[in-house]
């Protein structure tokens, strides 16, 4: 097993000895995977992968995901340090530069959607998404777009920064609300299951009734501080909540939210016009809980066309 000191690796990076670093990465990853298993091997080499994905020329950095190094040497979509290695790479170069270099389709797709979230206009370079998620941000995705919140800002030597979003984001626009009786719970809907898996640290419910009646399912208070907000204001917090862990990238969050919205229309596949129509009519209700601290999300999404509302509520206390 090759061992190395981070300081020595950073020196090699400062000297731009990228082929040597790629060779070290591949050898260390393969040996680690053989001796300690795939996940452990990937974890041990992730800091080196970050240095390469961040600083190397795209022609070399993209080779992290190229299987030409042999079994066990290739970074996958799950390889991560402070964030997925494919997302680190995607924040450093345009799709025009990366498209000819990336072979594996899962990585290509995630890098492509990361560039979309960062605001790149792909134009003729766009490729059709297998699920039909559009190759450009829709107006409601742009409405409250905060690049530093949607996609992590990665640092050259490792680590990342990201603004922390919550719902509600503050008390502006909120006021005292008397919640109605709890709405009748609707069981077994695909959208409810997707909501619970997209943000696994919240409790999710679907009810027949307005948004506040759905909120009443998830809070013990009858009188709350709450109010309605636009879906554009909700979207960044939802996307971030779906991608909090370092192995989750923002592109995965975007794809998950499009699947969720498609399921809320009752469809099995994504239809951009139907999703846009749903978003346009959604009424979004958010409220505050007395024990909210660092990370929390309290939201009800009401679809007036069906009379259904989906609510999710939860808090995280770990970093």
Structure tokens at 141: 């995705």
Angle at 22 between CA 21 and CA 27, to 5 degrees: 100
Tell me how crowded residue 105 is: count the other CB atoms within 10 A of its CB.
10
Q: Quote the pLDDT of residue 314.
A: 94
Q: Quote the pLDDT of residue 317.
A: 65
Q: Quote the pLDDT of residue 4.
A: 46
Judge residue 128's burial from the number of C-beta atoms within 10 Å of its C-beta, 0-12 exposed, 13-18 middle, 19 or more buried.
Answer: exposed
Domain boundaries, the chain: 6-136, 175-316
Rounded distance, CA 252 to CA 238, Å? Answer: 12
For tokens 């134009």, the residue is 123
Mapping DSSP onto H, E and C, the string for the chain reads CCCCCHHHHHHHHHCCCHHHHHHHHHHHHHHHHHHHCHHHHHHHHHHHHHHHHHHCCHHHHHHHHCHHHCCCCCCCCCCECCCEHHHHHHCCCCHHHHCCCCCCHHHHHHHHHHHHHCCCCCHHHCCCCCCCCCCCCCHHHHCCCCHHHHCCEECCCCCEECCCCCECCCCCCCEEEECCCCCEECCCCHHHHHHHHHCCCCEEEEEECCHHHHHCCCCCCCEEEEEEECHHHHHHHHHHHCCCCCCCCHHHHHHHHHHHHHHHCCCCCCCHHHHHHHHHHCEEEEECCCCCCCEEEEEEEEECCCCEEEEEEEEECCC
Q: Quote the pLDDT of residue 291.
A: 87
- pLDDT digit of tens for each residue in the chain (319 aa)? 344 456 688 888 889 999 999 999 999 999 988 888 888 888 899 999 999 999 999 999 999 999 998 889 999 999 999 999 999 999 999 999 999 999 878 999 999 999 999 999 998 778 999 999 999 999 999 876 665 678 999 999 999 998 889 999 988 889 999 999 999 999 999 999 999 999 999 999 999 999 999 999 999 899 999 999 999 999 999 999 999 889 999 999 999 999 999 999 999 999 999 999 999 999 999 999 988 888 899 999 999 999 999 999 999 866 5
Q: Quote the pLDDT of residue 147.
A: 56
Beta bridge partners of 177: 224
CA 67 to chain centre: 26
Is the domain defined by 175-316 classed in CATH 3.40.1000? yes
pTM, entire model: 0.93
Rounded distance, CA 176 to CA 224, Å? Answer: 6
Rounded distance, CA 58 to CA 16, Å? Answer: 13
Q: Quote the pLDDT of residue 3.
A: 43
């Amino acid at each position: 097993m090759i061992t190395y000191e981070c300081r020595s690796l950073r020196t090699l990076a400062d000297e731009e000895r990228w082929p040597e670093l790629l060779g070290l990465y591949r050898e260390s990853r393969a040996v680690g995977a053989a001796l300690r298993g795939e996940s452990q091997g990937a974890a041990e080499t992730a800091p080196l992968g970050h240095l390469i994905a961040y600083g190397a020329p795209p022609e070399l950095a993209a080779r992290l995901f190229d299987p030409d190094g042999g079994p066990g040497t290739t970074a996958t979509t799950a390889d991560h340090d402070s964030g997925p290695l494919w997302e680190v790479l995607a924040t450093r170069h345009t799709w025009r530069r990366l498209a000819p270099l990336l072979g594996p389709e899962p990585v290509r797709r995630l890098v492509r959607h990361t560039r979309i979230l960062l605001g790149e206009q792909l134009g003729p370079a766009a490729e059709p998404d297998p699920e039909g998620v559009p190759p450009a941000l829709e107006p409601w995705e742009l409405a409250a777009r905060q690049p530093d919140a949607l996609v992590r800002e990665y640092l050259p030597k490792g680590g990342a920064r990201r603004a922390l979003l919550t719902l509600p984001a503050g008390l502006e626009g909120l006021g005292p609300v008397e919640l109605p009786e709890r709405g009748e719970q609707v069981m077994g809907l695909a959208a409810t299951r997707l909501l619970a898996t997209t943000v696994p640290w919240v409790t999710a419910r679907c009810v027949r009734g307005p948004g506040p009646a759905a909120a009443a399912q998830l809070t013990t208070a009858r009188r709350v501080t709450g109010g309605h907000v636009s879906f554009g204001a909700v979207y960044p917090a939802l996307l971030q909540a779906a991608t909090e862990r370092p192995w989750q990238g923002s592109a995965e969050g975007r794809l998950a939210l499009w699947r969720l919205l498609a399921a809320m229309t009752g469809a099995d596949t994504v239809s951009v016009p139907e999703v846009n129509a749903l978003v346009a009519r959604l009424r979004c209700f958010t409220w505050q809980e007395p024990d909210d601290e660092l990370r929390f999300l309290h939201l009800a999404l009401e679809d007036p066309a069906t009379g259904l509302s989906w609510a999710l509520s939860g808090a995280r206390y770990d970093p």
